[in-house]
A and B are shown apart, each in its own frame.
Chain A
Amino acid sequence: MSSCLRNTIRELRAARSMTQQELADLIYVTRQTVIAIERDKYSPSLEVAFRIAHVFAVPLEHVFQYEAPSSGKK
């Protein structure tokens, strides 16, 4: 099942020349978790999501976007 959450962490990180390990250390998770979040393979907890937004100094909705799944009915 694919996640409905999309994120812009990779772009935000690239804009600040920040490595995955640096971000991981700032938000108290492992580098593998940052990789999983960036690839939309893992949805972080609300606390970690807020920490990420805080690190980049942007609103939460700028980092994470929710895409509602299409119902498939016409």
Chain B
Amino acid sequence: MARLSFQEKMLWAQLAGIVVVVVFYGYFLVHAGPGHHYFHALLLVLLFLFACVRTFFRRRSGSVVEDERDRSIAAIGSRWSNIILWLGLILILVLYWDHGSVHSAHFLIGVLFHLLVLAGSVRIIRELVAYRMAA
């Protein structure tokens, strides 16, 4: 088995991050009482930290870290992610459209947030599978 490339390591890190966020969200936040939890702010901070770490390791690595194969695999992942997003949006419109208005803005934002997490997870998993199939 070939050693993991930089892109693959980053994908595994993203997947681990999503699992941690989902577990945190599913366990702590659901059991917490009402009020502000700054969950979305925490998520943005985590994304920013991840981008910083990624840039640091990318600069430190002297050799090529991304090439045409990475780009073609990224395109496959994006395609799957887009399909999930479009299907999800259509599903939301069909299920929750209530005589011209969706239930509430908070509810809609929540559903869209879940949809984004799902699309992101699908993209990462599809790319990891593509890397293993063409390794």
Seen from chain A, the residues whose Cβ lies within 8 Å of a Cβ on chain B are 21, 24-25, 28-33, 35-36, 39, 41-42, 44-45, 48
Partner-contacting stretch, out of B10-18, B59-67, B117-125: B59-67
Check if B134 sits within 8 Å of A30, measured CB to CB: no
Query: How far does the alpha carbon of A34 sit from the alpha carbon of B63 in the complex, in Å?
Result: 13
A32-B135, A41-B133, A41-B135 in contact; A24/B64 too (CB < 8 A)? yes
A30-B5, A30-B6 in contact; A36/B67 too (CB < 8 A)? no
A32-B5, A32-B135, A36-B135 in contact; A42/B63 too (CB < 8 A)? no
- Which range contains the number of B residues in contact with the other chain? 10 to 19
Query: How far does the alpha carbon of A48 sit from the alpha carbon of B68 in the complex, in Å?
Result: 9
Give the A-B pair count, Cβ closer than 8 A. 53
Q: 4 tightest A-B contacts by CB?
A: A29-B67, A32-B5, A33-B69, A41-B134
Check if A42 sits within 8 Å of B70, measured CB to CB: no
Chain A residues within an 8 Å CB radius of B134: 36, 41-42
Chain B residues within an 8 Å CB radius of A31: 2-3, 5, 63
Q: Choose from B64, B133, B135 the contact partner of A35 (Cβ within 8 Å).
A: B135
CB distance from B84 to the nearest CB of A (A): 24
Q: Choose from A28, A39, A45 the contact partner of B64 (Cβ within 8 Å).
A: A28
Chain A residues within an 8 Å CB radius of B2: 31-32, 35-36
A21-B63, A24-B63, A35-B2 in contact; A29/B135 too (CB < 8 A)? no
Considering only CB atoms, which chain B residue lies closest to A41 in the complex?
Answer: B134
Query: How far does the alpha carbon of A4 sit from the alpha carbon of B82 in the complex, in Å?
Result: 30
Q: List 11 A-B contacts (CB under 8 A).
A: A25-B63, A28-B64, A30-B63, A30-B65, A30-B70, A32-B2, A32-B3, A32-B5, A32-B69, A36-B69, A41-B135
